[in-house]
Structure 1
Amino acid sequence: MARHRHILRNRANFQRMFDEGSWVRTEYFKILHRPNELPHNRIGIMVGRRFGNAVKRNRAKRVFREVTRHGRIDLTKNTDLVFFPRRGMEKVPYHVINQAWQSTLVKHGLVQKLPVE
Protein backbone atom coordinates (compact mmCIF):
# COMPACT_ATOMS: atom_id res chain seq x y z
CA MET A 1 0.00 0.00 0.00
CA ALA A 2 1.29 3.44 -0.87
CA ARG A 3 2.00 5.87 1.89
CA HIS A 4 -0.49 8.71 2.19
CA ARG A 5 2.03 11.31 1.12
CA HIS A 6 2.54 9.38 -2.14
CA ILE A 7 -1.11 9.70 -3.19
CA LEU A 8 -2.60 12.65 -5.06
CA ARG A 9 -5.78 13.59 -3.27
CA ASN A 10 -6.99 17.19 -3.28
CA ARG A 11 -8.71 19.09 -6.05
CA ALA A 12 -5.93 21.67 -6.42
CA ASN A 13 -3.34 18.97 -7.16
CA PHE A 14 -5.55 17.33 -9.77
CA GLN A 15 -6.34 20.71 -11.36
CA ARG A 16 -2.62 21.50 -11.57
CA MET A 17 -2.13 18.13 -13.30
CA PHE A 18 -4.78 18.98 -15.91
CA ASP A 19 -3.34 22.47 -16.45
CA GLU A 20 0.36 21.57 -16.65
CA GLY A 21 0.56 17.81 -17.26
CA SER A 22 1.34 15.81 -20.39
CA TRP A 23 -0.84 12.96 -21.67
CA VAL A 24 0.21 9.45 -22.62
CA ARG A 25 -2.47 7.26 -24.20
CA THR A 26 -2.46 3.48 -24.52
CA GLU A 27 -5.03 0.90 -25.50
CA TYR A 28 -6.04 0.22 -21.88
CA PHE A 29 -5.38 3.46 -19.98
CA LYS A 30 -4.26 7.07 -20.15
CA ILE A 31 -1.58 8.62 -17.94
CA LEU A 32 -1.26 12.28 -17.09
CA HIS A 33 2.21 13.15 -15.78
CA ARG A 34 4.17 16.19 -14.68
CA PRO A 35 7.21 16.95 -12.52
CA ASN A 36 6.50 18.00 -8.94
CA GLU A 37 8.44 20.02 -6.38
CA LEU A 38 8.43 17.29 -3.72
CA PRO A 39 11.19 14.80 -2.85
CA HIS A 40 8.90 11.86 -3.75
CA ASN A 41 6.54 10.67 -6.47
CA ARG A 42 2.76 10.84 -6.17
CA ILE A 43 0.13 8.73 -7.91
CA GLY A 44 -3.59 9.31 -8.39
CA ILE A 45 -6.41 7.31 -9.95
CA MET A 46 -9.47 8.77 -11.65
CA VAL A 47 -12.30 6.56 -12.88
CA GLY A 48 -15.44 8.30 -14.14
CA ARG A 49 -18.96 6.93 -14.14
CA ARG A 50 -18.83 6.44 -17.90
CA PHE A 51 -16.33 3.62 -17.29
CA GLY A 52 -19.07 1.40 -15.90
CA ASN A 53 -20.86 0.50 -12.72
CA ALA A 54 -19.21 0.62 -9.29
CA VAL A 55 -17.96 -2.95 -9.54
CA LYS A 56 -16.07 -2.22 -12.78
CA ARG A 57 -14.71 1.09 -11.50
CA ASN A 58 -13.48 -0.44 -8.26
CA ARG A 59 -11.86 -3.38 -10.06
CA ALA A 60 -9.97 -0.96 -12.32
CA LYS A 61 -8.69 0.88 -9.25
CA ARG A 62 -7.64 -2.37 -7.55
CA VAL A 63 -5.81 -3.59 -10.65
CA PHE A 64 -3.92 -0.33 -10.98
CA ARG A 65 -2.99 -0.31 -7.28
CA GLU A 66 -1.62 -3.83 -7.68
CA VAL A 67 0.35 -2.84 -10.77
CA THR A 68 2.02 0.01 -8.90
CA ARG A 69 2.51 -2.02 -5.70
CA HIS A 70 3.94 -5.18 -7.25
CA GLY A 71 5.70 -3.53 -10.16
CA ARG A 72 8.42 -2.10 -7.93
CA ILE A 73 9.28 0.27 -10.73
CA ASP A 74 11.69 3.07 -9.90
CA LEU A 75 9.94 6.12 -11.36
CA THR A 76 11.91 9.19 -12.30
CA LYS A 77 12.32 11.49 -9.34
CA ASN A 78 9.69 14.04 -8.41
CA THR A 79 6.91 12.93 -10.73
CA ASP A 80 3.13 13.08 -10.34
CA LEU A 81 1.11 10.49 -12.28
CA VAL A 82 -2.65 10.20 -12.67
CA PHE A 83 -4.03 6.96 -14.11
CA PHE A 84 -7.26 6.93 -16.15
CA PRO A 85 -8.48 3.46 -17.16
CA ARG A 86 -10.17 3.22 -20.56
CA ARG A 87 -13.26 1.21 -21.38
CA GLY A 88 -12.42 -2.38 -22.10
CA MET A 89 -9.68 -2.54 -19.47
CA GLU A 90 -11.98 -4.46 -17.15
CA LYS A 91 -11.95 -7.41 -19.59
CA VAL A 92 -8.16 -7.65 -19.81
CA PRO A 93 -6.10 -9.88 -17.46
CA TYR A 94 -3.82 -8.30 -14.86
CA HIS A 95 -0.56 -9.41 -16.50
CA VAL A 96 -1.48 -7.64 -19.77
CA ILE A 97 -2.18 -4.38 -17.92
CA ASN A 98 1.08 -4.76 -15.98
CA GLN A 99 3.08 -5.29 -19.17
CA ALA A 100 1.40 -2.31 -20.87
CA TRP A 101 2.13 -0.16 -17.79
CA GLN A 102 5.82 -1.06 -17.72
CA SER A 103 6.37 -0.65 -21.45
CA THR A 104 4.55 2.71 -21.46
CA LEU A 105 6.70 4.07 -18.64
CA VAL A 106 9.89 2.98 -20.40
CA LYS A 107 8.78 4.31 -23.79
CA HIS A 108 8.03 7.78 -22.39
CA GLY A 109 11.05 8.05 -20.09
CA LEU A 110 9.08 7.97 -16.84
CA VAL A 111 11.11 5.16 -15.28
CA GLN A 112 14.68 4.96 -14.02
CA LYS A 113 14.93 1.16 -14.00
CA LEU A 114 12.65 -1.83 -14.34
CA PRO A 115 12.54 -4.62 -11.75
CA VAL A 116 14.60 -7.72 -12.41
CA GLU A 117 12.34 -10.70 -13.04
Structure 2
Amino acid sequence: MQRKLRLRNREDFSRIYRHGRSFANSQFVVYWRKYPQTEQFRLGISASSKLGGAVVRNRLRRMLKEIVRHNAHKLNEGIDLILIVRKPALTLPYIEMERSVLHVLRKAGLLKGSNPSDRSPGKRGPGGGRPKSAGALPRAFICL
Protein backbone atom coordinates (compact mmCIF):
# COMPACT_ATOMS: atom_id res chain seq x y z
CA MET A 1 0.00 0.00 0.00
CA GLN A 2 1.32 3.44 -0.89
CA ARG A 3 2.76 5.54 1.92
CA LYS A 4 0.50 8.53 1.17
CA LEU A 5 -2.58 6.31 1.72
CA ARG A 6 -1.64 5.44 5.32
CA LEU A 7 -2.73 7.14 8.52
CA ARG A 8 0.25 7.43 10.84
CA ASN A 9 -0.30 10.49 13.07
CA ARG A 10 -1.89 10.21 16.47
CA GLU A 11 -3.91 13.36 15.71
CA ASP A 12 -5.46 11.72 12.65
CA PHE A 13 -6.47 8.64 14.64
CA SER A 14 -7.86 10.78 17.47
CA ARG A 15 -9.84 12.97 15.05
CA ILE A 16 -11.45 9.93 13.44
CA TYR A 17 -12.27 8.27 16.77
CA ARG A 18 -13.72 11.49 18.18
CA HIS A 19 -15.69 12.82 15.18
CA GLY A 20 -16.13 9.78 12.95
CA ARG A 21 -18.72 7.06 12.67
CA SER A 22 -18.27 3.35 13.25
CA PHE A 23 -19.61 -0.04 12.33
CA ALA A 24 -18.55 -3.50 13.49
CA ASN A 25 -18.94 -7.18 12.87
CA SER A 26 -17.50 -9.96 15.01
CA GLN A 27 -14.00 -9.75 13.49
CA PHE A 28 -13.46 -6.06 12.71
CA VAL A 29 -14.51 -2.55 13.67
CA VAL A 30 -14.27 0.27 11.15
CA TYR A 31 -14.21 3.95 12.10
CA TRP A 32 -14.42 6.47 9.27
CA ARG A 33 -14.75 10.15 8.57
CA LYS A 34 -15.02 12.13 5.36
CA TYR A 35 -11.77 13.90 4.52
CA PRO A 36 -12.18 15.70 1.18
CA GLN A 37 -8.60 17.06 1.14
CA THR A 38 -7.39 13.72 -0.26
CA GLU A 39 -8.25 12.38 -3.69
CA GLN A 40 -8.26 8.79 -2.38
CA PHE A 41 -8.96 7.09 0.92
CA ARG A 42 -6.44 6.83 3.77
CA LEU A 43 -6.19 3.75 5.98
CA GLY A 44 -5.00 3.08 9.51
CA ILE A 45 -4.95 -0.32 11.17
CA SER A 46 -5.10 -0.96 14.89
CA ALA A 47 -4.23 -4.33 16.44
CA SER A 48 -4.18 -4.50 20.24
CA SER A 49 -1.42 -6.26 22.13
CA LYS A 50 -4.18 -8.48 23.55
CA LEU A 51 -4.25 -10.26 20.19
CA GLY A 52 -0.75 -11.65 20.60
CA GLY A 53 2.88 -10.77 20.14
CA ALA A 54 4.36 -8.39 17.60
CA VAL A 55 4.72 -11.13 14.99
CA VAL A 56 1.01 -11.95 15.12
CA ARG A 57 -0.10 -8.30 15.07
CA ASN A 58 2.22 -7.35 12.21
CA ARG A 59 1.07 -10.36 10.18
CA LEU A 60 -2.55 -9.25 10.63
CA ARG A 61 -1.67 -5.70 9.60
CA ARG A 62 0.11 -6.91 6.48
CA MET A 63 -2.84 -9.12 5.53
CA LEU A 64 -5.32 -6.26 6.01
CA LYS A 65 -3.19 -3.84 3.98
CA GLU A 66 -3.04 -6.41 1.18
CA ILE A 67 -6.81 -6.96 1.29
CA VAL A 68 -7.44 -3.21 1.09
CA ARG A 69 -4.84 -2.80 -1.66
CA HIS A 70 -6.54 -5.48 -3.79
CA ASN A 71 -9.96 -3.90 -3.24
CA ALA A 72 -8.90 -0.23 -3.38
CA HIS A 73 -10.88 0.34 -6.58
CA LYS A 74 -14.09 -0.53 -4.66
CA LEU A 75 -13.60 2.06 -1.87
CA ASN A 76 -15.09 5.54 -1.95
CA GLU A 77 -12.70 8.46 -2.27
CA GLY A 78 -12.16 11.22 0.25
CA ILE A 79 -12.47 9.19 3.45
CA ASP A 80 -10.17 8.32 6.31
CA LEU A 81 -10.78 4.91 7.84
CA ILE A 82 -9.39 2.86 10.69
CA LEU A 83 -9.75 -0.91 10.83
CA ILE A 84 -9.57 -2.41 14.32
CA VAL A 85 -8.85 -6.13 14.53
CA ARG A 86 -10.81 -8.23 17.03
CA LYS A 87 -9.77 -11.57 18.52
CA PRO A 88 -11.94 -13.82 16.26
CA ALA A 89 -10.02 -12.57 13.19
CA LEU A 90 -6.92 -14.46 14.34
CA THR A 91 -8.27 -17.82 13.21
CA LEU A 92 -9.62 -16.72 9.82
CA PRO A 93 -7.96 -17.81 6.59
CA TYR A 94 -7.17 -15.06 4.10
CA ILE A 95 -10.31 -15.52 1.97
CA GLU A 96 -12.64 -15.40 4.97
CA MET A 97 -10.80 -12.37 6.33
CA GLU A 98 -11.27 -10.60 2.99
CA ARG A 99 -15.00 -11.40 3.04
CA SER A 100 -15.32 -10.09 6.58
CA VAL A 101 -13.47 -6.83 5.77
CA LEU A 102 -15.61 -6.25 2.68
CA HIS A 103 -18.74 -7.03 4.71
CA VAL A 104 -17.96 -4.43 7.38
CA LEU A 105 -17.01 -1.84 4.71
CA ARG A 106 -20.19 -2.53 2.73
CA LYS A 107 -22.40 -2.23 5.82
CA ALA A 108 -20.68 1.04 6.70
CA GLY A 109 -21.42 2.37 3.20
CA LEU A 110 -17.75 2.81 2.30
CA LEU A 111 -17.80 0.72 -0.87
CA LYS A 112 -18.85 2.27 -4.15
CA GLY A 113 -22.52 1.64 -4.81
CA SER A 114 -23.34 0.60 -1.24
CA ASN A 115 -25.59 2.48 1.14
CA PRO A 116 -24.86 2.89 4.84
CA SER A 117 -26.58 0.47 7.16
CA ASP A 118 -30.09 1.47 8.16
CA ARG A 119 -29.25 0.99 11.83
CA SER A 120 -29.54 4.17 13.80
CA PRO A 121 -26.36 5.15 15.65
CA GLY A 122 -26.44 5.64 19.38
CA LYS A 123 -29.32 3.23 20.02
CA ARG A 124 -27.59 0.56 22.07
CA GLY A 125 -28.41 -1.14 25.30
CA PRO A 126 -31.88 -1.73 26.75
CA GLY A 127 -34.60 -0.50 24.45
CA GLY A 128 -32.16 0.09 21.62
CA GLY A 129 -33.34 -2.74 19.39
CA ARG A 130 -35.98 -2.73 16.69
CA PRO A 131 -38.79 -0.24 16.96
CA LYS A 132 -41.96 -1.78 18.33
CA SER A 133 -45.04 -1.79 16.19
CA ALA A 134 -48.05 0.12 17.46
CA GLY A 135 -50.08 -2.98 18.34
CA ALA A 136 -47.28 -5.11 19.77
CA LEU A 137 -47.57 -6.35 23.31
CA PRO A 138 -44.53 -6.30 25.59
CA ARG A 139 -42.73 -9.58 26.06
CA ALA A 140 -43.04 -11.28 29.43
CA PHE A 141 -40.26 -13.31 30.98
CA ILE A 142 -41.01 -15.96 33.54
CA CYS A 143 -38.34 -16.75 36.11
CA LEU A 144 -38.74 -19.94 38.08
TM-score (norm 1): 0.87
Q: Quick check: which one's strand share is greater?
A: 1
CA contact (8 A) 1:71 1:98 kept: no
Distance in 2 between residues matched to 1:68 and 1:51, nearest whole Å: 21
The higher radius of gyration belongs to: 2
Letter in 2 for 1:10: N
Identity between Structure 1 and Structure 2 (%): 28
CA contact (8 A) 2:41 2:77 kept: yes
Give the aligned CA root-mean-square deviation in angstroms: 1.6
Q: Where do 4+ consecutive residues of structure 1 move more than 6 Å?
A: none
TM-score (norm 2): 0.72
Tell me the secondary structure at the aligned position of residue 112 of structure 2.
Answer: strand
CA contact (8 A) 2:29 2:104 kept: no
Letter in 2 for 1:36: Y
**Corresponding residue for 2:109?**
109
Within 5 Å, give how 1:26-105 maps onto structure 2: 26-38=25-37, 39-105=39-105
Task: For structure 2, list consecutive stretches of 5 or more residues without a partner in the other structure.
Answer: 115-144
Distance in 1 between residues matched to 2:93 and 2:31, nearest whole Å: 23
Structure 1 residue 53 displacement after superposition:
1.2
Count of matched residue positions in the alignment of Structure 1 and Structure 2: 113
Distance in 2 between residues matched to 1:56 and 1:37, nearest whole Å: 34
Task: For structure 1, list consecutive stretches of 5 or more residues without a partner in the other structure.
Answer: none
Letter in 1 for 2:6: I
Distance in 1 between residues matched to 2:43 and 2:24, nearest whole Å: 17
**Corresponding residue for 2:142?**
none
Letter in 2 for 1:63: M
Letter in 1 for 2:43: I
Distance in 2 between residues matched to 1:73 and 1:29, nearest whole Å: 20
Q: Quick check: which one's helix share is greater?
A: 1
